[in-house]
């Protein structure tokens, strides 16, 4: 059994040799061997393109001393040079590159010089390597961490948008106390100059009901403040309805679409009142002739007010005619002229 197992490889090689001799000739095995050697040499001597590129990378510093705060670094960015396969640069995203430095500041100094090298560079550089960082060091500015409690530190939130038929007012909470943590020097400057921090805006677009909402306090990037307590607070937004003209309830109503006849009648009433004599008796007779309606009370005739001659028709100064199409407006003009002529006793224009 052992002899049979050992004979299988030799049998396979003999079969392969016979196949190569049959297909490629007597030296077929040499031809295959030469082809394999050529492929290996080609893969080994294929030229690879290498290059280098320099990127401007931001510098960030973290203080390991809990009682100190980093107020800045000089420089704020550094030049980092990468070297490697040209194809690897296609996979690089320069926005991921950064220089991370750590400050111990055990002696509580206001300045500290920290070296920058290849180990300080972070980011997805892949197969590339860092060859240089310039400059080789950064000067970090430090300050003691302090806190400042104040009751007048934030602006009233800004309202964005237009409320619906009302005015909006922000009601701030009473005795709002905010504690700011950060650079003692910066906090002292804030206190002396009375600097206040902005807040996030409040959207009141289309709103009418009073509501409460949380507002965030925005910390400027160069303020030296690391944290706020609280970082947000609750305000009340109160709405006051705006009274519209001719609407004591304060709610504006959309103009009604009226018929062509009603619009013509309303226009005729105004035209007749402006064209009639100033005599009150003439006004009454003209109004009765135009409408065919009169009332007698106590033996004397009295005409109804002009707005009551056509019940349900709005006053002529309301924007009702503007709702008509141009063709309807032309028809209203002709009908109003005819009615006015009839009311004043003139001949109507056909």
Which superfamily does 151-241 belong to?
YbbR-like domain (2.170.120.40)
The answer to whether domain 50-64+71-143 has CATH 3.30.930.10 is: no
- The predicted pLDDT at position 8 comes to 62
pTM: 0.41
- The predicted pLDDT at position 181 comes to 86
- The predicted pLDDT at position 203 comes to 94
CA–CA gap between residue 7 and residue 4 (Å, rounded): 5
Joined together, the tokens standing for residue 162 give 């237009």
- The predicted pLDDT at position 72 comes to 85
- The predicted pLDDT at position 29 comes to 66
- The predicted pLDDT at position 69 comes to 81
- The predicted pLDDT at position 332 comes to 65
Predicted confidence (pLDDT) per residue in 29-49, tens digit: 677 778 788 888 777 666 678
**Hey, where are the domains in the chain?**
50-64+71-143, 151-241, 260-344
- The predicted pLDDT at position 196 comes to 84
Helix/strand/coil for 165 = coil
- The predicted pLDDT at position 116 comes to 94
Residues of the chain with pLDDT under 50: 1-3, 5-6, 246-258, 276-321, 347-350
* 151-241 has the same fold as 50-64+71-143: yes
Rg over alpha carbons for the chain, rounded to the nearest Å, is: 46
- The predicted pLDDT at position 259 comes to 53
- The predicted pLDDT at position 302 comes to 39
Angle at 200 between CA 198 and CA 201, to 5 degrees: 110
Secondary structure (DSSP) of 256-321: PP--HHHHHHHHHHHHHHHHS-S-HHHHHHHHHHHHT--EEETTEEEPPPGGGSSTTPPPTTSTTG
Give which of 149, 209, 139 is closest to 182, Cα–Cα: 149
């Amino acid at each position: 059994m052992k002899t049979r197992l050992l004979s299988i490889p030799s049998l396979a090689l003999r079969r392969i040799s016979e196949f190569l001799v049959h297909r490629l000739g007597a030296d077929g095995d040499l031809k295959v061997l030469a082809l394999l050697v050529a492929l290996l040499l080609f893969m080994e001597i294929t030229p690879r393109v290498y290059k280098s590129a320099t990127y401007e990378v931001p510098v960030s510093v973290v203080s390991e001393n809990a009682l100190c705060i980093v107020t800045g670094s000089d420089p704020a960015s550094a030049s980092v040079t990468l070297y490697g396969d040209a194809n690897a640069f296609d996979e690089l995203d320069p926005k991921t590159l950064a220089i991370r430095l750590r400050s111990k500041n055990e002696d509580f100094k206001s300045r500290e010089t920290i070296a920058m090298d290849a180990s300080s560079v972070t980011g997805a550089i892949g197969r590339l390597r860092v060859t240089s960082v310039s400059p080789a060091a950064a000067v970090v500015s430090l300050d003691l961490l302090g806190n400042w409690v104040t009751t007048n530190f934030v602006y009233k939130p800004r309202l964005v948008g237009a409320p619906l038929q009302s005015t909006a007012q922000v009601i701030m909470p009473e005795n709002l106390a905010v504690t700011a943590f950060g650079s003692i020097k910066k906090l002292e400057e804030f206190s002396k100059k009375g600097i206040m921090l902005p807040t996030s805006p409040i959207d009141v677009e289309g709103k009418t009901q009073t509501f409460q909402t949380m507002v965030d306090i925005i910390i400027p990037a160069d303020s030296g403040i690391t944290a706020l307590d609280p970082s947000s607070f609750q305000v009340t937004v109160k709405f006051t309805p705006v009274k519209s003209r001719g609407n004591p309830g304060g709610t504006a109503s959309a103009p009604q679409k009226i018929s062509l006849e009603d619009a013509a009648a309303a226009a005729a009433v105004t035209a007749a009142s402006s064209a009639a004599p100033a005599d009150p008796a003439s006004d009454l007779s003209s109004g009765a002739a135009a409408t065919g309606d009169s009332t007698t009370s106590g033996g004397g005739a009295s005409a109804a007010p002009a707005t009551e001659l056509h019940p349900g028709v709005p006053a002529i100064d309301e924007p009702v005619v503007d709702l008509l199409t141009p063709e309807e407006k032309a028809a209203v003009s002709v009908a109003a002229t005819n009615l006015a002529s009839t009311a004043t006793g003139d001949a109507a224009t056909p």
